[in-house]
Amino acid sequence: MTDRARIAFVKPPAKVAGTALAFAGAGLALGPLARATGAAALIGKAAGTVGFSGKAMTTLDLIAPAGTGLDRLVVVGTGEPRELKVRDWPRLGGAAMGALGRAKAATVLLERPDGVAITAEQAADFALGVRLRGYGFDKYKQPKDDNGEATRQPVEIAIAVPDPARARRAWSRQRAVADGVILARDLVNEPANVLGPAEFAARAAELGKLGVAVEVLDEKELRKLGMRALLAVAQGSVRPPRVAVMRWNGGKAKEKPLCFVGKGVVFDTGGISIKPAASMEDMKGDMAGAAAVTGLMRALAGRKAKANVVGVIGLVENMPDGAAQRPGDIVTAKSGRTIEVVNTDAEGRMVLADLLTYAEERFKPRFLIDLATLTGAIIIALGHHHAGLFASDDALAAALAAAGEATGELVWRMPLGPDYDKQIDSKFADMKNTGGRPAGAITGAQFIKRFVKDTPWAHLDVAGTAMESPQTEINKSWASGWGVRLLDRLVRDRYEDRPP
């Protein structure tokens, strides 16, 4: 991971030198700090030449603007400031970071063009966007000489706001969220030869330094616990499985925990039902659900969240060797229910089946939310801009949707029902692990739902949002870290330090 931004909050300077970044609203409205650069007339003239109107997330770049004493002035459009949403402040930060390019230092004159005061939370959200846009995964690239893309030094960004102390306090919380997103991105971007089940579990165990209690269960312990569905997926690989249990105890001692469960298939060949060769390399990202849960625990611990939270991740590799499970096998899950394996590429739901049973029985949580790159079908349904949301509880679904609107990590609720459930009934076992192509994302969720008893539950199918993700103002990485900000917001807004 490369972190290309160092962020500080400062009071607005009397005079700005070097590179400055300011904001213009619709109709090129400028705030006092932007006008103080002395470049208002130049901005208007240049904007007319290139068609810059202050539309949100667009930029205008002025090199050595005359009479300002600046080397460079970058103007970022906000659109109509009154229409800015909570989720737009990180986007503005990302757009600003992208516009700065290879600058070594810059002063950001952070203000709304309509004169409404910037809050500390908005300033922190802006900095979050800067940090996330500055992410790059280049650890396996050799540095080039000065004639090529030489290793970049971080840009020093001073964000000028009226109350830097309050902004720093707000940023200390959002910086922890950024750390969680970056951890999730790093995990998903790592190649599978580097990050196997044991190595992933070791990365999760490092959260112990932040006060997270981490248990790593090995193959022997998993057999003792009866996680036969998870073990069936792993049996074709020479790399033994692991389950990592991460606990953050920031709430009241007897308060039931919130529980997040992640699918962690570190590489998915499809097993005996092998995938086509084209783009199979992307299956190193089939552990993005587990990465998001790990990143979430990093974020919550980093900002010392006032909640009891458990993260459970199942780490396996799905390979097609002589010991691999076969289509037609029948496996008894931890719950005691039997599964006919009709397609070994429908493996993630088998991992989640045992994890959900284990988490519900052991922790008796307030809710269960699982994340998984479960189906290609959800991409056909929703593309890459929404994750599929399936839920047994309307209040939990509404809370997730609200967190999605606030963060921009959007979810779309999909149906569940007994008619879909019939597709996974088996002639030979309690169920089969796939219902075929029709409604594939829904029948995958129906399968998982059978392994949750009375606990409010939601399933997030993140196949379209977590890897090979859309390029946005705050993400230029193959791995997005999707889910960390969404779930952190859910915890913060709905459950933190609140009675059951």
d(CA 236, CA 220) in angstroms, rounded, equals 16
CA neighbor of 460 nearest in space, from 386, 405, 403, 407: 386
Query: In sequence order, what are the residues at sequence separation of 6 or more whose Cβ sits closer than 8 angstroms to the Cβ of residue 66?
Result: 42
DSSP H helical ranges for 144-245: 164-189, 197-205, 219-225, 228-234
Instruction: Give CA separation, 413 vs 214, 253, 483, in Å.
Output: 32, 34, 15
- Report the b/e string of 301-325 with b at 16+ CB within 10 A: bbbebbbbbbbbbbbbbbbbeeebb
Residues with catalytic annotation? 275, 349
Task: State which H helix or E strand residue 332 sits in.
Answer: strand 330-332
SS (H, E, C) 346-365: CCHHHHHHHHHHHHHHHHCC
Tokens of 428: 């030979």
Cα–Cα separations (whole angstroms), residue 418 to 421, 423, 437, 443:
5, 9, 17, 10
Residue showing tokens 């479960």: 374
Q: How many helices (H) and strands (E) does the chain have?
A: 15, 19
Judge whether 497 and 305 are in contact, CB under 8 Å. Answer: no
CA angle 395, 401, 407 (to 5 degrees): 135
Angle at 256 between CA 261 and CA 448, to 5 degrees: 30
Dist. CA 200–CA 195, nearest whole Å:
6
